[in-house]
Structure 1
Amino acid sequence: MRKMLLKKISLKSEKQRLLIAALKSNEASTVYAFGPKGVGKTFLNVLFGLDSVIRGVYDVFFIVTPRPDGKWYVDFLCRIANKYDCGDVVKKAIKDGKIRVLSRAINFTEEVPDAILFIDDVHLFPLPEVMDIFWVYNGRIKLAMAADFTFESNANSIGWILRRVLHNESSTVIVDFGFDDIVDPVIKQNLRVTMEMVMRSRVLSEDEQKVQNIAYCYAPDTDIITVLSLKKIKESLEIEKVPDALIVVKEGFLGRLIGKEGRRIGLIEKEAGMSLRAIEFTLNFGRIIRALHPYPWIEKHINKIDVVGGLVTVRIDYKDYQRFAGKDLKYLRFLNEAFRALLGLGLKVEYKRAEKTKRKRKRQK
């Protein structure tokens, strides 16, 4: 038996291990990998498919790609195979029809009972094409899909629709990769730029535009990414001790906005007639929470923050949950609405109850 391709690589995250385990499982007929670019979704699915065909676990490995020219994908497969010393075997499998690349989902009309089908970049396909494959093949063959996380969490985004549909399906495993799972350093670096684009593309309300204009009057040398008005959210939830608006500036420009001893931001607040907070944008979402939460010190009690499944996921100890969420979950709801308005991302909190320790009773003599 040939040495498994999968044994030639080192999995770099727990989510990668979960994905491979799901692909190996006979209980999971459908495996859906969802997350940002650079986490290994395509690479691991392809490597598993190649490995399965080489070892005879599946008769055929189908790859469906939105790319109009399948040649690019064939070259991609060969590069992976050559890297792990099985180039000739993979080329023969392609020639024998055991590995097939199709340029569109609609072209997949095969009747192969013992096959694995991988739909790459499924979020780029028209929904009817994906529906046709599900209608005919889901549950009949091993079906794997990969979709990139996008900031468009609307009803028309195929990746998000599939995630919602497949959630809680008994024979489906969804592996949600987070921003922390990105293993490609270039993608990690570009993520911040992408998120900045999202914020800069926001259409400012009248209040937001007013704050931005006043800010540039007093701090013309700063670089404002966006302004987020919080007045309506604040009033609807009847929350105090939170700002009326948040100013987000590019990293390295906060000092120019604040001014010496806070003079500039003070003048901006006075003319705008609003309480303001300002932050430099980085991938540290704790800074946003600190700026928005009624109690900024709550950031110190956060164990971890990541973006998973389209939600800013905050992990916190149970003892700190009530202070974070607030009475009637008002603080949590406020943060959720603010993040959605700012980045199109919701917010959820995960907490862990402390394990109770049994006290040993002293024996009475």
Structure 2
Amino acid sequence: MSSLLDKIKPMSIGQERLINALKDSRNEIVGVFGPTGTGKSLISCAYGISSVLSGAYKRFIIARPVVDVSTGKPLTPEELGELYYKVASAYLEDILEGYMGKDEISKLLQEGKVLVTDVSYLRGRTFDDSLIFLDDAQSTQPENAAEILMRIGRNSRLIIAGDPVLQRPMGVEKDGATLLREVLLNEENSVVVDLGLKDIVRPGARRGVKVAFELRMRKRELSNSEKQVLDLVRIHAPDADVVTVVEFKQEKENLGIKSENVPDVLIVAKEGHLGRVVGKGGERIKAIEGESNFRIRTVEMNLDFKEWIRSLHPIGWIKKHIVDVDFAGPELLVTVKRDSFGAFVGQRGSYIRLIDRVFRRLINVGIRAMESEG
């Protein structure tokens, strides 16, 4: 008889790595991090329920914060009463829709084989023969997760999942998911699986990610120089929808970058509006450059981050030597061909440092680079 996990066929290399990591009993702790829609919760819950039904563990405990979306405040069972458990149970039904019936889920909950609760339930307890799943770790205090680690008893394992990019609380540099990932990377008998854009399989999730980044950029506070450029765009390209403008001339000079191929300003246009900003023969962007005294590049608002990097980098052919750009935890990881790595990062890392600073200002995500192994 096939298990619930066997019904889920991995749809990306990252998902396959996650399933293999969960099946490997040597991994006492499995951390999985990535944007929404990558299957973190689905695969973890399917593995947990399969493990309980097979007798590998007596209980599957799902600990997750219930957060008020308007305030960002975690809500507790004491505050919500019976409603808390209805919300928590509905979460499990939504995740497993199409894979497991509501009656089957209710039976497991009633029998106590599956428990959905908040993180505070785990404090001061020791769990034997249990599989514990800490979901939405970005909304959890890292200290709470550390206490959970201390409570793992005999024949018990821990799964931690979180989104350290899109669901990270605003104004927080290192959320719970980011800090836990850093700890687990060098923790004995633990494994970290990073899922990225290529692992998004849920219908509509990729569009949602793009919209989330666009909203983040539209909310940016513009400097006076950025407002000046935006005003000029409105004069010379009134039919263009511009998401944001970022100016970094001083940062470029501070890093000692003198190349004329590196712009001073990047204009991010709504998808389908790039041509309207530039003009048929480039006359619009030339007029904006002439009146602002800035070197300007434009890029379209999409998830092709290779193109974003190309627009900021002084070497025109560098895009051909970028193997991959995708999320690895809270950052974008750029994989570059080994023979072009030095040209990509620049002298004393000046190019990658500039790109990192611009990306942080645009979408609050940093950049790091590594050489391709191939």
Does TM-score exceed 0.5, indicating one fold? yes
Secondary structure of the structure 1 residue equivalent to 2:20 = helix
SS of the aligned residue for 1:162 comes to helix
1:33 corresponds to which residue?
32
Unaligned residue ranges in structure 1 (runs of 5+): 355-365
Equivalent position to 1:255, from 275, 289, 295:
275
CA distance in structure 2 between the aligned counterparts of 1:64 and 1:353, rounded to whole angstroms: 38
Whole-angstrom CA distance in 1 between matches of 2:100 and 2:245: 53
1: CA distance between counterparts of 2:281 and 2:287? 12
Work out whether 1:150 is the aligned partner of 2:165: yes
C-alpha distance in 1, partners of 2:344/2:174? 33
Q: Which residue of 2 aligns with 1:328?
A: 348
Partner of 2:5: 6
Say whether residues 1:213 and 2:231 are aligned partners: yes
Change (3 A) 1:229 1:209: same
> What's the TM-score once normalised by structure 1's chain length?
0.88
Structure 1 vs Structure 2: percent identity of aligned residues?
35
Aligned counterpart, 1:362: none
- Out of 180, 184, 192, which is 2:210 matched to? 192
Question: Residues 115 and 222 of structure 1: is their aligned pair in 2 closer, same or farther, counting only changes over 3 Å?
Answer: same
Match of 2:121 in 1: 107
TM-score (norm 2): 0.86
Alignment of 1:281-292 (within 5 A): 281-292=301-312
Moved more, 169-178 or 332-341: 332-341
Alpha-carbon distance change, 127 to 93 in structure 1, aligned in 2, over 3 angstroms: same
Q: Which residue of 2 aligns with 1:45?
A: 44
The number of residue pairs the alignment matches comes to: 352
Residue of structure 2 in register with 1:270 after alignment:
290
User: Judging changes above 3 Å, is the alpha-carbon distance between structure 1 residues 85 and 44 closer, same or farther for their aligned structure 2 residues?
Assistant: closer
**Who is 2:151 aligned against?**
136
Check the 8 A contact 2:142/2:180 in 1, yes or no: no
Matches of 1:139 and 1:254 in 2, distance apart? Answer: 59
Deviations 1:114-136 (A, max 9, x none): 11111121222344543432343
Q: Does structure 1 conserve the Cα–Cα contact (< 8 Å) formed by 2:34 and 2:327?
A: no
The CA deviation at 1:89 is 5.7
What is the alpha-carbon distance in structure 1 between the residues aligned to residue 46 and residue 130 of structure 2?
A: 15
Q: Judge which range, 176-185 or 313-322, deviates more.
A: 313-322
Question: After the TM superposition, which residues 110-125 of structure 1 pair with which residues of structure 2 at under 5 Å, given as runs?
Answer: 110-125=125-140
Deviation at 1:315, TM superposition (A): 2.1
- Post-superposition offset of 1:331: 1.7
Instruction: Within 5 Å, give how 1:218-257 maps onto structure 2.
Output: 218-239=236-257, 240-241=259-260, 242-257=262-277
User: Which deviates more from structure 2 when the two are superposed, residues 13-22 or residues 272-281?
Assistant: 13-22
In 2, the alpha carbon distance for the partners of 1:258 and 1:90 equals 56
Moved more, 159-168 or 193-202: 159-168
Q: Aligned-pair distance for 1:149? A: 3.2
Q: Describe the shift of the 1:267–1:138 C-alpha distance in structure 2 as closer, same or farther (beyond 3 A).
A: farther
Choose which of 300, 319, 327 in structure 2 pairs with 1:280.
300
Highest CA radius of gyration, 1 or 2? 1
Q: Map of 1:40-79 to 2, 5 A cutoff?
A: 40-67=39-66, 69-77=84-92
Is the Cα contact below 8 Å between 2:127 and 2:152 reproduced in 1? no
* Unaligned runs of at least 5 residues, structure 2: 67-76, 78-83
Deviations 1:12-62, CA, capped at 9 Å, x for gaps: 122222222222223222111111000110011110111001010001111
Q: Which moved more, 1:173-182 or 1:292-301?
A: 292-301
Letter in 2 for 1:296: G
Write the deviation string for residues 72-117 of structure 1: whole angstroms up to 9, x where unpaired: 4434545777844677665443322221121x11123554311111
8 Å contact from structure 1 (residues 179, 308) kept in 2: no
2:269 and 2:104 map into 1 onto residues whose CA distance is 53
- Does the residue aligned with 1:260 lie in a helix, a strand or coil? coil
Answer yes or no: is the 8 Å Cα contact 1:147–1:159 preserved in 2. yes
1:349 has 2:369 as partner: yes
> Larger deviation: 128-137 or 22-31?
128-137
